[in-house]
């Protein structure tokens, strides 16, 4: 087992990061390794690639955790891995069903045009639902450790702000304004609010959206559910700050991804959240020494090829080092960088996934030990 990331004492690991860096594979590797080490682990993935679905046995509807067969991996006694896939829409539906005051209210919300749009497309809904599912698993207490993969972020802040944004949306003055009856309007809202409502009504007619009635129905349906939501969202927020929660930022050493990762670092620090570690995926191996080429007894043509190849890879390795230096410079000094090797292909089996996780190592590049 690699000692790169010591997860002892942690109950939740959240893997954040830009899209396309191998976050899902990394999360699954981390969870598998902890399970092989003897812990009971749940991993929740978002949109895993087909090979990972095969490797983890997540075919079909895998919203509920499924036990992954660890036979042949020499897992220590007590080690168990359960994997699931997040279905944001379904989690949202469940949430509504749980908090709705009546069956009629539930059905009215679920069938509404506003809800259909909110649940599919609102930035942050998938993130909030990921947190909601984790909260469920956390409370259920079946696992000692939960590893959470997060949805690809449009913005660094989506995941971190999701609980609060949901609450703001539901508790906003705008919602109150839309749902208020005419008599209430006169007592609780000012002239500007009334004007805004009138303008919105005009916009509604102009665009042909005819939304106002839908919005009112939606908001009316949520009446009485706000409390339940607020409690859950507060608990989710608390979980982000729990000392037993480790936030890991996953990235690659490509310039563009590093720039995105730096935005995450800033977003975490703005919110007073603690960054536990940064994992750099797909790191190239170190380049070999050029003197070996000079010493070798080889035809000159082949030596030229070797030198050219070495120069090419060195240039790429330098590109990587420049990006890593920039990343290191933007991190608080105590945050460790974990390096994960570049894979020739996506893991096809648990064994390959375990080998990938075994490659995680503390990165000591350049003078990176500052």
**Which one of 77, 182, 207, 367 is in contact with another protein (CB under 8 A)?**
207
Using the minimum distance from each CB to another protein, give the nearer residue, 269 or 312.
312
Using the minimum distance from each CB to another protein, give the nearer residue, 207 or 243.
207
Cα 305 from chain centroid?
Answer: 43
> Other C-beta atoms within 10 Å of 299: how many?
8
Kindly determine how many residues on this chain lie close enough to bind another protein according to the rule CB under 8 A.
Answer: 75
Tokens of 295: 């010493």
Using the minimum distance from each CB to another protein, give the nearer residue, 67 or 199.
199
Using the minimum distance from each CB to another protein, give the nearer residue, 61 or 285.
285
Segments in 48-190 forming alpha helices (H) = 50-56, 88-99, 103-111, 113-121, 125-140, 157-171, 173-179, 182-188
Task: Give the Cα separation of 41 and 181 in Å (integer).
Answer: 50
Residues 6+ positions from 314 with CB-CB distance below 8 Å: 287
Q: Which stretch binds another protein (CB under 8 A): 43-51, 61-69, 94-102, 129-137?
A: 43-51
Task: Give the Cα separation of 53 and 36 in Å (integer).
Answer: 19
**Which one of 11, 90, 197, 274 is in contact with another protein (CB under 8 A)?**
197
Minimum CB–partner distance for residue 291 and another protein (Å):
11
Site for another protein, residues 111 to 130, rule: CB under 8 A: 113-114, 117-118, 121-123
Q: Is 152 exposed, middle or buried (0-12, 13-18, 19+ CB in 10 A)?
A: middle
Using the minimum distance from each CB to another protein, give the nearer residue, 245 or 260.
260
Site for another protein, residues 291 to 350, rule: CB under 8 A: 292-293, 296, 298-299, 302, 305-306, 308-313, 315-316, 318-319, 322, 344-346
Site for another protein, residues 236 to 295, rule: CB under 8 A: 252, 254-257, 259-260, 285, 287-289, 292-293
Site for another protein, residues 57 to 96, rule: CB under 8 A: none
Whether the CA torsion 133, 136, 140, 145 is positive or negative: it is positive
Task: Give the Cα separation of 143 and 81 in Å (integer).
Answer: 9
């Amino acid at each position: 087992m690699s000692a790169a990331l010591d997860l002892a004492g942690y109950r939740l690991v959240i893997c954040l990061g830009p899209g396309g860096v191998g976050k899902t594979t990394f999360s699954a590797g981390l969870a598998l390794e902890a399970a092989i080490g003897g812990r009971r682990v749940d991993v929740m993935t978002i949109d895993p690639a087909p090979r990972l679905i095969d490797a983890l046995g997540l075919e079909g509807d895998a919203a509920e955790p499924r036990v992954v067969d660890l036979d042949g991996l020499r897992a220590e006694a007590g080690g168990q891995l359960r994997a699931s896939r997040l279905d944001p829409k379904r989690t949202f539906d469940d949430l509504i069903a749980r908090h709705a005051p009546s069956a009629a209210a539930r059905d009215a919300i679920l069938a509404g045009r506003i809800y259909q749009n909110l649940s599919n497309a609102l930035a942050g809904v998938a993130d909030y639902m990921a947190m909601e599912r984790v909260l469920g698993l956390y409370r259920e207490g079946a696992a000692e450790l939960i590893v959470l993969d997060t949805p690809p972020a449009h913005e660094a802040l989506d995941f971190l702000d999701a609980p609060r944004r949901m609450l703001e949306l539901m508790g906003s003055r705008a919602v109150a304004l839309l749902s208020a009856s005419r008599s209430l309007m006169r007592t609780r809202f000012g002239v500007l609010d009334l004007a805004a409502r009138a303008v919105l009504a005009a916009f509604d007619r102009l665009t042909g959206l005819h939304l106002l009635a839908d919005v009112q129905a939606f908001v009316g349906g949520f009446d009485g559910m706000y409390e339940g939501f607020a409690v859950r969202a507060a608990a989710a927020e608390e979980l982000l700050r729990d000392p037993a929660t480790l936030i890991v930022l996953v990235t690659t050493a490509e310039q563009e991804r590093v720039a995105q990762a730096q935005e995450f670092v800033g977003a975490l620090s703005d919110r007073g959240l603690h960054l536990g570690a940064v994992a750099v995926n797909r790191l190239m191996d170190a380049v070999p020494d050029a003197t070996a080429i000079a010493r070798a007894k080889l035809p000159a043509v082949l030596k030229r090829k070797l030198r050219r190849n070495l120069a090419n890879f060195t240039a790429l390795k330098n590109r990587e080092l420049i990006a890593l230096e920039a990343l290191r410079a933007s991190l608080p000094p105590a945050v460790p960088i974990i390096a994960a090797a570049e894979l020739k292909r996506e893991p096809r089996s648990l064994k390959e996934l375990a080998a990938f996780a075994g490659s995680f190592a503390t990165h000591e590049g350049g003078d990176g030990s500052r």
